[in-house]
Amino acid sequence: MNTLVTGRRLARELGEWRSTGPAYRALADRIRVLLMDGRLASGTRIPAERELSGALGLSRTTVAAAYSKLRDDGYLASVRGSGSTLVLPGLERGDHAPGSGLPLDFTKAVTLAYPGVAAAYAAAIEQLPAYLAHDGFDMVGMPDLREAIAQSYRNRGLPTSAEQIMVTTGAQHALNLVTRSLYSPGERVLVEQPTYPHALDTFASVGARMLSFPVSQDGGWDLSEAQLQLRRAAPSMAFLMPDFHNPTGTSMTIPEREFLTAAATREGTVLIADETTALLDIDRGALPPLACFSPGVITLGSLGKIAWGGLRIGWIRASRDVLARILRNRPAQDLGTPLLEQLAATSLVRELPVLAASRSRDLKLRRDMLVQLLGEQLPEWDVAVPDGGLSLWINTGTMSTSALALAARSEGLGLVPGPRFGLDGAFERFLRLPFGHDVEQLRDAVKVLGRISSRVGPDPLRMPLQAVI
C-alpha cells in the first residue's frame, strides 16, 4: 500500500517554496525536490488538490496546474479514483537511490573504498568454510569481531567489554534497532539542527515528536538551548554526532561533552551518539568518546564511512541491560548480521589505526582541493574548512539550494539541498558538498556548480526587502 502524505504535512515539508516565477511552477519544482532528496519516497500518494490548496492557502487551480506539470515531467502518476502518486524516473530501471544513475552523484557523503577491503574479503572467504556448521543467524555478532570493536574503544580510553557490543548491518540499522526498542509512543526526541537526514526519517517513522537545538560551524552546540529543551520537555532520547558532525563538520569540545552528558543525566534522557565519522580526523587530533563522560550513552559505530559503504557492518555499544532489551526486539526487524561480512570486518577493525591514518591523508588532499576549486569558481560562497569528516557545509548567501539541486540534476550532478538536513524547511541557503569523491569528479562537480549558479540566482525570500519590491 502506498504511503499517504497529508496536506498539512506536505505544507510543512515544502517550507519556503515560493519564488518570483509562476506559483504553480515553483510548487511543482519544490515537490520534485522533496522527491529527489528523499523527504518524500517514490510511491507516496500526495493529497488531493482541494486538501493541499487549503493547507497552503492557494487556489485549487494553482495546485492543479502544479500537479499537471509534475505529471507532464514524469514525476506524478494519477489514476482516476485512486489519487496521485509520486514517481522517481529511473526506478523502473533499478535506480533506487536519489542521485543514482547520474554521472556525478554527490547525494552521499562517502569516499572511495579503502585499499585493504579486497584483501579483507579474500581472507574472509578462506575462513568461511570453518563457519559453515553455524546456522548463519547471528543476532549479536561474532565473538572475535565484538572483541576487536571493544578493543578499539579501549584504545580510545573507553573501557569496553565484548558483552557491551552488538553487531548490526550498518549504523542506520543500529539506530533503527535502538529507537524501536527504547522509544514509546508519545515521547519526544531531541535532535541537532541541522542533523543527519536518515536519523530524522527513523524518528519520524515511529511518530516521535522531534525537538531541536542548534549546532553551527562558528558557534558549536547551543548548549543553553539544549539544556532548556531537556528541562522543559524531558525527551526520552537525544541523537547527536559529537565528532565531525554531519553536515557541519564541527566537533564537540571536552567541556561541551561534559556539560551535555551531565544535563541529559539529570533529566533522564538517553544520549545516542553517532560515531560513524569519529575516526575521519584530518587536523583535529583525538578526543575521548562521548560515552567516557556518562555510562548511559549509547554509541553507534560503522565501517561504512571509513572503510567502504558496501561493507554493511555497524554496531551498538551500550550496557548489557540495554543490549538485552534490543536483542528481544531484534527478530521483528531482521534475523542477524551476515557472517562473511563480519569476518571481513574483523580484520579491518583490528587495523583501524592504520586505516584511519590512510584516510586522513587522502581526505586532506581532497578537502583542500575542493575548497580551492570553490574559491576559484564561486568566491562569493562562504566555505568553512572542517578539520575532519567527509563534507563541506557551505553558506551560499542568498541562493536557494533546492533550485540549485534541480538545475544541477539537469547537468548530471546529484546534490542534496540544505533543507534535507533540518526540520520545517530550514537551511534553504546551505549546501552539503562531499569531498571524498574521485579528484576528477570534484573538478567536474565544481564546474557544473559554476555554470549553473548564475542561472539559478538568489532566493527572493532571502534577499533584502528592497530587492524584491
Q: Give the residue from 301, 330, 353 where a domain finishes.
A: 353
Per-position DSSP letters for 367-419, written without gaps between them:
HHHHHHHHHHH-TTSEE---SBSSEEEEE-SSB-HHHHHHHHHTTTEE-EEGG
- The answer as to whether 323 is a domain residue is yes
Distance CA 218, CA 144 (A): 42
Distance CA 469, CA 452 (A): 25
75 alpha-carbon distance from chain centroid = 24
The domain in which residue 108 lies consists of 104-113+355-468
Q: Could you give the 3-state DSSP secondary structure of residue 12?
A: helix
What pLDDT shows up at residue 425? 72
Q: Give helix 143-155 / helix 339-350 axis angle, nearest 10°.
A: 30
Sign of the dihedral defined by the CA atoms of residues 344, 349, 350, 351, in that order: positive
**245 in the same domain as 168:** yes
Q: Give the residue from 353, 381, 402 where a domain finishes.
A: 353
What pLDDT shows up at residue 100? 52
**155 in the same domain as 140:** yes
Question: Edge-to-edge, what's the strand order for the sheet holding 76-79?
Answer: 45-46, 83-86, 76-79
**454 in the same domain as 362:** yes
Per-position DSSP letters for 150-181, written without gaps between them:
HHHHHHTT----GGGEEEESSHHHHHHHHHHH
Q: How far is CA 6 from CA 44, 202, 229, 230, 273, in A?
A: 10, 19, 28, 30, 32
| Amino acid code (one letter) for 449 | L
Distance CA 363, CA 380 (A): 24
Taking the CB of residue 358, how many other CB atoms lie within 10 A of it?
Answer: 15
* Below-70 pLDDT ranges, the chain: 1-2, 37, 81, 89-101, 457-469
**275 in the same domain as 349:** yes
What pLDDT shows up at residue 34? 83
What are 388's strand-pairing partners? 281
Maximum pairwise Cα distance, the chain: 74
What pLDDT shows up at residue 469? 23
**243 in the same domain as 128:** yes
Q: How many residues does the chain have?
A: 469
What pLDDT shows up at residue 142? 97
381 alpha-carbon distance from chain centroid = 23
Residue with grid cell 559453515, as numbered in its chain? 132
Taking the CB of residue 11, how many other CB atoms lie within 10 A of it?
Answer: 19
**324 in the same domain as 377:** no
- The answer as to whether 16 is a domain residue is yes
- The answer as to whether 1 is a domain residue is no
DSSP state of 170: S
- The answer as to whether 253 is a domain residue is yes
What pLDDT shows up at residue 163? 98
- The answer as to whether 460 is a domain residue is yes
Specify the pairing of strand 314-317 against strand 165-168: antiparallel
What pLDDT shows up at residue 464? 38
Q: What is the pLDDT of residues 369-394, one digit of tens each?
A: 999 999 999 999 999 999 999 999 99
pTM of the model: 0.85
